[in-house]
Structure 1
Amino acid sequence: MGQHVRRESYPCVTSSRIDYLGHQASRRHDLMVAEVDDLSWPFERVTNLDDEEVRETAYEIFFTSCRSSPGFGGRHALTFQSNHENNGGNGDGGSKLNQVVTKPASRVKKVLGLKMLKRSPSRRMMSGSSGVSSTPSSPVAGADTGKNSDTMRTLCNSVVSLSWRSANGTPTDVCHWADGFPFNIHLYTKLLQSIFDIRDETLVLDEVDELLELMKKTWSTLGIALPIHNVCFTWVLFHQYIVTGQVEPDLLCGSHAMLNEVANDAKREKDSLYVKILSSVLSSMQGWAEKRLLNYHEFFQRGNANQIENLLPVMLSASKILGEDLTITDGEGEEKGDITIVDSSGDRVDKCIRSSMKNAFEKRAAKLEKVIVQIVVEDSTECDDGGKTVVREMVPFDIDSVILSLLGKWIDESLHKGKECVKRAKETETWNPKSKSEPFAQSAAELMKLAATTVEEFFQVPIAITESLVQDLADGLENLFQDYMMFVAACGSKQNYIPLLPPLTRCSRDSKFMKLWKRVAPCSSGFEEQHSTKRIHEDHHHLPKPSTDRGTQRLYVRLNTLHYLITHIHSIDKALSLNPGVVSSNHLRFANNRRAQSNNSPLYFESANLSILAACQHVSEVAAYRLVFHDSSSVFYDSLYVGGVARGHIKPVLRILSQNISQLTTILIDRAQPLALKEIMKASFDSFLMVLLAGGSSRVFFRSDHEIIQEDFEHLRILFSNCVESLIADNVVQGEAAVVEGVIGLMGQNTEQLMEDFSIVTCEGSGMGILGNGQNLPMPPTTGKWNRSDPNTILRVLCYRNDRAANQFLKKTFQLAKRR
């Protein structure tokens, strides 16, 4: 008998088996070539190797990995119970030949929703089992390796050195064999394709769990990790759905289920090779699906229309992963550059519907046009003039006027939607931002999205858009913006937070005890300073924790919202102004003749922009006075200099203001911070002036106090000069501080000089000229705009001056009551 010829390395992979698999692959390719041509191959091509060679190599690596792994052939390996074992033993083997083998339900099939096979084991498994059992064991003759030992040693050393290679040339602890991209992906996808049954390639083998578990043994050889496996498995299921004629929706559903796993991997895995593979696979899947969904009237008929509900989730999932999760990290940090792939999904369903409807209408319109032309041609054969009379009798359909009428109605409906959006905002808006990255009201985002969508769809109408139509749309949008802006700015007034001015009184004369104390202690303010310093030290342990009130934070969310409106209104304005499809009323292009477009001034929404800027000023002012007179009042207006002036009294004020400003800058966007901080500075200076001029009966000042007060105000001024990278210009700070410094200068003047200055400015202001005998000075009105030349300001300095001369002057001139 002749000796059987066997493959020495892998007995289970016979040449006939490989030929059969190659024949099946070729037949499948011929049947589905049209559909596969539309599906772009996501991996780089491997030259000089055909599919049969790649498949054979994949199987060899698979069996080699399984044979070299512990436990192969044991209970963890893929096992098969052949009925042929009993054919010669009991005589009834023929009746059991087609017996159905019952196996546990596949976990993978349950997860992916794939169908179970209820029949005999697959032909693939039968062929493999028969090949192993029927091939006799033939020992291999010993080879004379002595003469080839040097050659073999050189070959082994070369192979080992290559297998221990690394990308950068450094030594590695991992042995690599076939993990280079894209060769490893080609091998692994061919291996994954073996899970499909040969006799019905739309079905997955019952042994898929065991097969996939064994395929994991090839990961170290091929350089495959779980995220890459998930991507490849997703692709194989999707590819199999297409090459089998799109008749098995379970394959598509399984691909969609795997996309959920891929989405989770994409959020964590940022390796550049993985992202490259993922983006290629998803782009190919998305492109194939989107081509059909954008024209689903042509690709899907009544018989297969239900496939849309399976294909649409796949496209949306692929688009979402491409748009949100993919970031290629090129290098080890930002200094080496990050490349972000951005492909927003948007409202793809609406896009597909519109696109397919458009294509369907255009196709049917073309058919209708051919029919009409044919009718005209047939009628013209009966006319002597060649059909010219028929053509003249045909009344042209003025489609432009119809479209313009419909477009006007559409504009009104769109603006009505905007009004409903504003109305809904007024009823439900809570001024709580969605996130730190979106620190504005969500109602503003909804309104701006609606406006941008309206403008985009407006220019998609296939007619010449006139300037008058654009103006009508712009006027309607501007009314919406104005209405919403007024809603945002409706937050009260700063007067709601400024305390009422206390009545003017004169300081009481010092008691006899205080006079005696001053004689013992010559420093007139020593007792007050010592007492105040002690009280301040005690108060430091009982100060409330600094925080910005929730109401104040909502005001700053309003301010962010106004700046959000400014930015997006400018974008919409540009979309309306610079669109090349707009023509003037005389049907001449006016893009070069319109109002100066080279500058950045708004063309259509100038009034709305000016109103929003005024609203920003108002909201910033209200928020600032609430922050100072409400959130910081416990250490500022309510307690500063109460009981006397002492060094260090301003420190709690500075600490609270500084921390509240720091918290404010975390809420406000950058563009809103300069104006907001300027208003906080003005409110703080006003509060400081009210402490000095309208602090109530708990505050009195001596002439000698003005030096400490000047030092304290200097610290307050420096706080705003240096805070947040000097967002407020020095000249602005100096201009606001000059008023306060002028009042502090009045506090440093002697009482006689104050009384003289008061009399002069009061007479000049009332028109009395020189005060005659028997005439009394009139009470100057309180304007609230304090400065050193204002008579009411000088009067208040006298009212808070703890001095006998000031006391007598106020009593004689205005009969002011003493403090209690």
Structure 2
Amino acid sequence: MRENSQREVEEILELLKSTWRILGITETIHDTCYAWVLFRQFVFTGEQGLLKVVIEHLRKIPLKEQRGPQERLHLKSLRSSVDADDSCQDFTFFQSFLSPVQKWVDKKLNDYHLHFSEGSSMMVDIITVAMLTRRILGEENDKAMESPDRDQIDRYITSSVKSAFMKIAHSVEIKADTSHEHVLASLAEETKKLLKIETNIFSPVLSRWHPQAAVLSASLLHKLYGNKLGPFLEHSEHLTEDVVSVFPAADSLEQYIMSVMASVVGDDGLDSLCRQKLVPYEIESKSGTVVLRWVNGQLERVETWVKRAAEQETWDPISPQQRHGGSIVEVYRIIEETADQFFAFKVPMRIGELNSFCRGIDKAFQIYTQLVTQPIVDKEDLVPPVPVLTRYKKELGIKAFVKKEIQEVRPVDERKSSEIVQLTMSKLCVRLNSLYYAISQLGKLEDSISERWAKRQSDKINIRRSMNGKSKGIVSNQKNQFDGSRKEINAAIDRVCEFTGLKVIFWDLQQPFIDNMYKNNVLQARLDTIVEVLDLVLAQLCDVIVEQLRDRVVTGLLQASLDGLVRVILDGGPTRVFSPNDAPLLEEDLEILKEFFISGGDGLPRGTVENLVSRVRPVINLIKQETRVLIDDLREVTQGGKSKFGSDSKTLLRVLCHRNDSEASHYVKKHFKIPSSAPPST
């Protein structure tokens, strides 16, 4: 039945075609009129099958140069006129039939977001009709069109994207009063959604005629949103809630726009495109300025809190397990909270803002370190002045120099003396423990900052490079950000360790060690009594100091003990005299001191102790020598020669000044004008 109907239709068409010549109808006229009739029917019914037949007939219409001369003249003679607005418009044959078609499809395509919300093949057919009618009418008007399809698609995209953007902008503004989000943040999100629809639904269709359709729509949306964003950026000076809301949304939109464009033209093409067609929002730069302003203000508060924490510290351990002070825990709490706030901001940041933040934190730790060591006085304030150098003399009666010696002893400032007294062993150890806690936790803080920064930046490297011409988002190595603090804290630990040792020997034990050891003669006040006291000091120290610092503090105590021993031997004043017979006793005392600090392997490493003790042995070796040998050696050194004992003139002179024989006394009097002193009392 169907075949018969089809045959009947064909027969009717053939019959009609036989009359074309009489009626002046050609194939071109037939295809044009038939396309118009079918298209009109399509407009009424929406049946896509009709549209495909329209396309088929439009494609059959030959180009102007393909028509014969007679047909061209015949078509040119076919004209129509339309009265409109008190005027009469004259139309050619093709204009009469195809201009209405073109007008209808242009209207739909100029707002394809509205009319083709789901894309579909219908849009493909409509664009095909638009391109075919444009070609035919363009020839009719004798227009020389270069890439007409692409130019027309350009106009469709521009018109429809602008229209769609205006609609979402209007919608966002209406909802602004009820929304908790800034209108520009909402608009950025809606614009991103619009671009996703564009790239997923429309660009694949449009790219058949315009390979860079997605690039055009993306760059246009970038410009449209940028026009709205510009005034807001100009007035953004501080890290307000609006800035925190808008900046990330705008930056995210720009990143997405760049990624869409890069997917079409590649990274190299994107570089060129950004330079030629786009004006970057520069959110990162503007954001960096306001973030830096926040960072500077916040770091000022951090410094204030750090100073307050250190100044209120009592330097008592938190607990037997936590032997540091509470201030360093508070300092880390403040700094970590500030870091959390810094990374909680979703606004774009550059490496410069991170570096400024880290420098501020580094400075805060250095300020804390300086406050911890502030009461630590200089060595000169702790160690008593060296007595005036005198020579031994048997005769009594010359006491003026001893009197002068007493007068020249520099008194310690009362305020400093009070501060020194308050620096007990326990409080010094807590200060050291706090410094150790500070430096031991720096690595964790660095790792946390580095990881969080890497997480922020990893997805933005390529886009930043294209937008700015270079990559500013590359994750920098943050492992050296706190090297200033490390250096400062390590130096502070060394200083406190040295001070602790000096305070024990030259302050706490000044009377038994510095003033009375070896007084009058070596046998009367040996070192063993001092070692007993040192044992108590070490026990107290080890109860408080953390294991990691124990050896450093004990080493400081050993160094101070050796300094004290050398001080007593070489600068002990008129009450100290030595003879070669005393050398074995001094060697024995040095061995006692050495073994005490080694403590059978439980103390300092033997190698460390041996190395430190080795500097005292040459001094004792000089005590062992006969006076004449020492005099000859000193004479050789003062004349520019070398000491056979590897000593210097200063040390040799002091050994001779403390030698209890007349030959030494006479020599230093004659050659060095050393005054005499009273003999030691018995």
TM-score (norm. length: structure 2): 0.51
Query: For 1:739, which of 612, 615, 625 is the aligned residue?
Result: 615
What is the rounded CA distance, in whole Å, between the counterparts of 1:674 and 1:422 in structure 2? Answer: 29
1:483 to 343, 354, 367: 367
Q: Which amino acid aligns with 1:651?
A: D
2:353 — aligned with what? 469
Shift of 1:557: 2.4
Which aligned pairs between 1:22-41 and structure 2 lie closer than 5 A?
Answer: none
Q: Tell me the equivalent position of 2:650.
A: 792
Q: Which letter maps to 1:622?
A: F
Cα-to-partner distance string for 1:672-718 (whole Å, 9 max, x where unaligned): 22221111111100100111111112221221011111101110011
Q: Which of 663, 675, 680 pairs up with 1:817?
A: 675
* Counterpart AA for 1:745: N
C-alpha contact 1:466 1:582 (8 A) present in aligned 2: no
Task: Indicate how the Cα distance of structure 1 residues 423 and 790 shifts in structure 2: closer, same or farther if over 3 A, else same.
Answer: same
Q: CA deviation at 1:437?
A: 3.2
In the TM superposition, residue 552 of structure 1 has moved relative to its aligned partner by 4.0
Larger displacement relative to structure 2 (752-761 or 418-427): 418-427
How far apart are 1:793 and its partner, in Å? 0.8
Q: Which residue of 1 aligns with 2:152?
A: none
1:210-609 superposed matches below 5 A: 365=181, 395-397=227-229, 399-400=246-247, 401=283, 407-425=291-309, 427-490=311-374, 491-509=376-394, 550-579=423-452, 580-583=454-457, 602-609=479-486
Counterpart AA for 1:551 = T
**Number of aligned residues:** 390
Cα gap change, 1:615 to 1:392, in 2 (>3 Å):
closer
1:649 to 512, 515, 526: 526
Residues 699-718 of structure 1: pairs in structure 2 closer than 5 A: 699-718=576-595
1:373 and 1:706 map into 2 onto residues whose CA distance is: 93
Q: Check 1:615–1:362 CA distance in 2 against 1; reply closer, same or farther (3 A cut).
A: farther
- Aligned partner of 2:660 in structure 1 is 802
Question: How far apart, in 2, do the equivalents of 1:392 and 1:616 lie?
Answer: 58
Aligned twin of 2:541: 664
- Secondary structure in 1 aligned to 2:329? helix
Deviations 1:19-42 (A, max 9, x none): xxxxxxxxxxxxxxxxxxxxxxxx
Change (3 A) 1:596 1:446: closer
Change (3 A) 1:723 1:585: farther
**In the alignment, is the contact (CA less than 8 A) between 1:489 and 1:619 conserved in 2?**
yes
2:49 matched residue in structure 1:
none
The verdict on how the C-alpha distance between 1:369 and 1:688 changes in structure 2, with shifts beyond 3 A counting, is closer
- Is the partner of 1:739 in helix, strand or coil? coil
Aligned equivalents of 1:454, 1:626: Cα separation in 2: 39
**Any conservation in 2 of the 1:552–1:626 contact (CA below 8 Å)?**
no
The CA RMSD over aligned residues, in Å, is: 3.9
Tell me the residue number matched to 1:212: none
**Any conservation in 2 of the 1:465–1:581 contact (CA below 8 Å)?**
no
In structure 1, the residue matched to 2:100 is none
Task: Say if 1:508 and 1:818, in contact at 8 Å, map to a contact too.
Answer: yes
Whichever of the two has the greater Rg, that structure is 2
Contact kept in structure 1, 2:351 and 2:476, CA below 8 Å: no
2:620 and 2:654 map into 1 onto residues whose CA distance is 12
| Mapped contact 1:509–1:807 kept (Cα < 8 A) | no
| Superposition deviation, residue 433 in structure 1 | 3.4
Stretches of structure 2 that go unaligned for 5 or more consecutive residues are 1-176, 195-216, 234-245, 248-282, 397-420, 466-470
> Is the Cα contact below 8 Å between 2:464 and 2:472 reproduced in 1?
no
Q: Which digits, 9 at most, give the CA deviation of each residue in 1:363-398, with x for residues without a partner? A: 95599969x979x99xxxxxxxxxx99998665547
Q: Using the alignment, how far apart are the partners of 2:597 and 2:394 within structure 1?
A: 39
Distance 1:734 1:612, change over 3 A: same
The corresponding residue for 1:748 is 624
| Cα deviation digits, residues 712-765 of structure 1 (max 9, x gap) | 111001112227823x33332222211211100000000000000111112217
Task: Indicate if the aligned counterparts of 1:628 and 1:684 stay in contact, CA closer than 8 A.
Answer: yes
Structure 1: unaligned runs, 5 residues or longer: 1-360, 378-387, 512-547, 770-779, 781-786
Distance 1:464 1:753, change over 3 A: same
Residue in 2 that maps onto 1:760: 636
Q: 1:591 to 1:390 in 2, by over 3 A?
A: closer
CA 1:587–1:575: 2 relative to 1, 3 Å: farther
Contact 2:516-2:525 at 8 Å conserved across structures: no
Offset of residue 560 of structure 1: 1.8
Aligned residues of 1:506 and 1:811 also touching (Cα < 8 A): yes
Q: 1:703 to 1:467 in 2, by over 3 A?
A: same
8 Å CA contact 1:502–1:694 kept in 2: the answer is: yes
- Determine the C-alpha separation between the residues in 1 that align with 2:381 and 2:317: 25
Evaluate the alpha carbon distance shift between residue 392 and residue 685 of structure 1 in structure 2; reply closer, same or farther with a 3 A threshold: closer
* CA distances 1:430-460 after superposition (whole Å, capped 9, x unpaired): 4333333333333322221111111123222
**Are the equivalent residues in 2 in contact too, given 1:685–1:737 (CA < 8 A)?**
yes
Q: Is the 8 A contact 1:494 1:626 kept in 2?
A: no
Secondary structure at the counterpart of residue 759 of structure 1: helix
Identity of aligned residues (%): 25
Relative contact order (alpha carbons < 8 A, sep ≥ 6): 1 or 2 greater?
Answer: 2
What's the offset of the Cα at 1:596? 6.3
Deviations 1:529-557 (A, max 9, x none): xxxxxxxxxxxxxxxxxxx9743433332
For the residues of structure 1 that align with 2:336 and 2:573, how far apart are their CA atoms?
55
Give me the whole-angstrom Cα distance separating, in 2, the residues matched to 1:641 and 1:686: 15
Partner AA of 2:431 in structure 1? R
- What is the rounded CA distance, in whole Å, between the counterparts of 1:362 and 1:733 in structure 2? 77
The structure with more helix, counted as a fraction of residues: 2
TM-score calculated relative to the size of structure 1:
0.43
